[in-house]
Amino acid sequence: MAIAKRAPAELAKQTFEYAPAPESIDHVKIEPRYGLFIGGKMVAPHSKKRFPTINPATEQKLSEVVEADEVDVDHAVKAADKAFEEWSQLTPSRRARYIFRLSRIIQERARELAVVETMDGGKPIKESRDVDIPLAAAHFFYYAGWADKLEWAFANRKPRPLGVAGQVIPWNFPLLMLAWKIAPALAAGNTVVLKPAETTPLSALLFADICMQAELPPGVVNIVTGGGKTGSLVVTHPAVKKVAFTGSTEVGKLIARALAGTGKRLTLELGGKAANIVFDDAPLDAAVEGIVNGIYFNQGHVCCAGSRLLVQESIAEPLLEKLKLRLGTLRLGDPLDKNTDIGAINSKAQLEKIEELVESGVEEGAEIYQPECKLPERGYWFPPTLFTNVSQSYRIAREEIFGPVLSVLTFRTPAEAVEKANNTPYGLSAGVWTDKGSRILWMAERMRAGVVWANTFNRFDPTSPFGGYKESGFGREGGRHGLMPYLELV
Ligand code: NAD
């Protein structure tokens, strides 16, 4: 029997209607209101101010958290300072045991953490379940391994912890960013005061519960919730010896100014506008998957997102055709549904920022493409978007959108690709798609980006250092490099 051949375009359009497959939320208990985690227990705050944290997919209030004030932050820093005396003197293998324990409990409570992360932040459950939470556990696991090997990590140097680390994190990977901050700090013998982002405080508060379950000595980890004011109180507190900040370049600059001359150690992980570069010899189908993963993963709320696609002119047409077809198959909707590819935008403010930048792209003359896509009535949503006919001077090609929006530019030669990739104030990451190993190395040598992925994108591993150049910040997190900002090497 002859099998009728169908054109690839026709086949790609055949998306299956999936039955709803929502993750159960029965095993998750979110308290109606939370206190602060200070000195090993949840305490009532001094501040009388509270604010709600909502589910961006439904706009429903999940809980209420404290906006910690100066007294609360002082209380937390003092608890961390007190705990430092014992924690820094603890036999390193015992410190390692506590950190292993945190990792194991994260694994044990992974389902609960994944659901909370998705409800509070809007990201698809398959991402929080398969990426955020396993990577957070892996980070603690990896740094637990370093805790009793610091003497060997830095030859002929004597590593010493610094004291209290003040850490402030954003909302795009809440638990994972917490792990990036807390795991190396504890392994190096420091204690911490961490402030999660105002729209996603819940997984950090769940982590406070995990610290209690692990019987971590009181004060080694302290969690204070609040907005920018609370963050600035944490980083400027005189007893904080080291500041680790992940967030926008704008706030990073404010912090750098505030800390100048104070002698505090500082690392900044800031924004990005990465180039994902596809050469004419690249495997196109794999590249399309890499482009989709690069910019539509986590609704594009990714500092190292491949938000500028640089495609070699000779293959621009077939690549874009494949890419547009693939966009049509992405499922947008309930983040708790296991089939969802694109969840909710994290907040109303972020949605407005994306809309404003997309409008500017249309006004400046770029051509917009959005697949047919029904947006849910409640919540904050933005469809996967692609711009062609983009000039390098357009705002959508220069500014970080932090949403599911891709700008496509073309190039003819490798040199032109490098020039365009580097033509940005940022320098966090880049991607290269080609069949030739020598070309990957040639490109990687010339690009001013902290991470260069080859024939893949957005791949993270605790053993691998991550960080930026230029306005993407300084300092590295992950790997042996990630220990250095938390140690004095004498
Ligand atoms: P943001 O800078 O507004 O906020 C980040 C955190 O800083 C929040 O917890 C916030 O409350 C706090 N904050 C705000 N003002 C502060 C101040 N004056 N002093 C101290 N803390 C303050 O950024 P955002 O919108 O939450 O996050 C998105 C940004 O984060 C994007 O630009 C993204 O690129 C960046 N980011 C970078 C990385 C990286 O590793 N380089 C990772 C994730 C996100």
DSSP 415-444: HHHHHHHH-SS--SEEEEE-S-HHHHHHHH
Q: What letter represents residue 275's amino acid?
A: A
Q: What letter represents residue 442's amino acid?
A: W
What residues act catalytically?
Answer: 269, 303
Nearest ligand 1 atom, CA 234: 20
Return the best residue to mutate from 270, 299, 400 for the ligand 1 pocket (most ligand atoms within 8 A of CB). Answer: 270
Nearest ligand 1 atom, CA 196: 9
346 lines ligand 1 (CB under 6 A): no
Residue 1's pLDDT is: 43
68 lines ligand 1 (CB under 6 A): no
Residue 93, helix vs strand vs coil:
helix
CB count within 10 Å of CB 62 equals 18
Return the best residue to mutate from 299, 303, 307, 346 for the ligand 1 pocket (most ligand atoms within 8 A of CB). Answer: 303
Q: What are phi and psi of 238, to 5 degrees?
A: -60, -25
Ligand 1 center to 31 CA (angstroms):
26
Ligand 1 center to 196 CA (angstroms):
10
Atom 19 of ligand 1, residue of closest alpha carbon:
232
272 lines ligand 1 (CB under 6 A): yes
The closest of 102, 78, 270, 75 to 186, measured between CA atoms, is 102
CB count within 10 Å of CB 79 equals 24
288 lines ligand 1 (CB under 6 A): no
* Strand order across the beta sheet in which 41-43 lies: 41-43, 36-38, 221-223, 191-195, 164-168, 240-246, 265-269, 473-474
Ligand 1 center to 268 CA (angstroms):
10
Q: Strands 385-388 and 367-369, how do they pair? A: antiparallel
235 lines ligand 1 (CB under 6 A): yes
197 lines ligand 1 (CB under 6 A): yes
Ligand 1 center to 230 CA (angstroms):
13
Residue 6's pLDDT is: 58
Residue 11's pLDDT is: 59
400 lines ligand 1 (CB under 6 A): yes
227 lines ligand 1 (CB under 6 A): yes
The closest of 174, 172, 167, 264 to 222, measured between CA atoms, is 167
Residue 484 CB-density burial (10 A; 0-12 exposed, 13-18 middle, 19+ buried): buried
Blockwise average pLDDT, block size 10, the chain, 490 residues? 55 71 94 98 98 98 98 98 98 98 98 98 98 98 97 92 98 98 98 98 98 98 98 98 98 98 97 98 98 98 97 98 96 97 98 98 98 95 98 97 98 98 97 98 97 97 96 96 96
DSSP letter (8 states) at residue 369? E
Cα separation values, 90 from 143, 159, 304, 486, Å: 16, 14, 37, 16
DSSP letter (8 states) at residue 342? B
CA distance 74 to 68: 10
In the chain the first and final C-alpha atoms are separated, in Å, by 78
For the entire predicted model, the pTM comes to 0.96
